[in-house]
Every structure is written in C-alpha cells, then in structure tokens.
Amino acid sequence: MLCEECGKNPATIHYTQVQNGVATQMHLCAACMAKRQKGSDTMSSLISSLLSGIAGQQEEREQQDQLRCPSCGMAYKRFRETGLLGCADCYKAFADQLAPILGRIHGRRQHVGHVPPALRARVSAEQELERLRREMDEAVAREEFEQAAKLRDQIRALTAKQEPAGAMAKEGETQHE
C-alpha cells in the first residue's frame, strides 16, 4: 500500500485520527508522518502546558490538604472529603479556601440568612452604617472631603438613634438581675 499523502513511498505507519467524532484511518510513509508531527508541535506544546497547569493545581491542592484548624485540629483534606467543618474556627483557618466555594454555592461570600423579625431593624441599621462608613472611606480616598463630611454626619445621626435603644436594653437587663 502506498502512502496516502505523497503516493510515492510505501505506507509503513497506520493510524486513526478522530476529529469532531469522525474517525479517519491514515496510511502514511515515515517521511510524511514526520512532516505531520512537526506541524503538530504546537498541539504538543499546548497539551504539555495544560498538563503542567494541572500538575500545578495538584501541588496547590496537596499544600491545602496539609492545612489544619488550630482549634480542633481538623485537616482541610478531611473537609474536602466530608463537606463538614470541625468547629467555628475552621471558617477562619480555611477562609482562603472556603471563600470561592461559598461564592459558588450561595452566589455571594457574605452570609445573608434569615433575620428574626425582632432584630430586622437593628441589622438593617448596622448594614446601613457599614455602607455609609465604606462610602465615607471611599470619599476620603478620592479627596471629596465635603461628601465625606456629609456621610460622617449621617453616620453620627444613625449611631445616636441606635445608642438609646442599646442603653435601654442594658438598663432592662440590670433590672431583671
């Protein structure tokens, strides 16, 4: 059988190429096969770089698996196997590893669970304070001091509203003691 590429030399190499789910058999001579392999060097380097990336991920995973919670001693590897953490401090110990996981699962990295009706006003006020403080810091960074002063005044007003409620709760607690 002659080489399907050049039609001159005898075909000594027989291989099957699958492309887009279609299998094609090729019968080539050694010279034509060498030409094809030179053309596929870019593909080889691409595959090689992908494999080295996978190897790098494997090394990173092995390093993560060595992490342990200082409080309960749980290994991150154990968390990956069970999906369960050992204690509340595990969240801090594995924060870098958990953040992307929680982001994928919940759509965000910050807890936004159910708030009991009795605490909704307080939690809402605390979130508003946090937002105002963040905006004030950004205004200061941009050197927009008038805007920062307005935000500071809003923060003071909101804090003043919260303090009497906190003081009343403390007084009520001491009366029951």
Residue 19: phi and psi, rounded to 5, are -135, 125
pTM for this predicted structure: 0.34
pLDDT for residue 173 is more than 70: no
The two most distant CA atoms of the chain are separated, in Å, by 105
Q: Which residues are bridge partners to 24 per DSSP? A: 17
pLDDT: is 123 or 73 the higher one? Answer: 73
Per DSSP, 173 falls in state H
What element of type H or E holds 135?
A: helix 120-141
Question: Taking residues 7-13, what's their average pLDDT?
Answer: 85
Q: What's the pLDDT tens digit per position in 81-99?
A: 888 888 888 888 888 888 8
Question: Taking residues 141-153, what's their average pLDDT?
Answer: 94
CATH number for the domain whose boundaries are 117-176: 4.10.860
Average pLDDT over the chain reads 77
Q: What's the pLDDT tens digit per position in 48-82?
A: 555 555 555 667 777 777 888 999 998 888 887 88
Torsion-angle region of 167 (φ positive above 0: left; ψ -120 to 50: alpha; else: beta): alpha
Give CA–CA dist 110/92, Å, rounded: 13
Task: Give per-residue burial for 128-161: e unless 16+ CB within 10 Å, then b.
Answer: eeeebeebbeebeeeeeeeebeebbeebeeeeee
Q: What ranges do the domains of the chain cover?
A: 51-106, 117-176
CA of residue 48 relative to chain centroid, distance: 25
For residue 1, give every residue at least 6 positions away whose Cβ sits within 8 Å of its Cβ, in sequence order, or none: 10, 11, 27
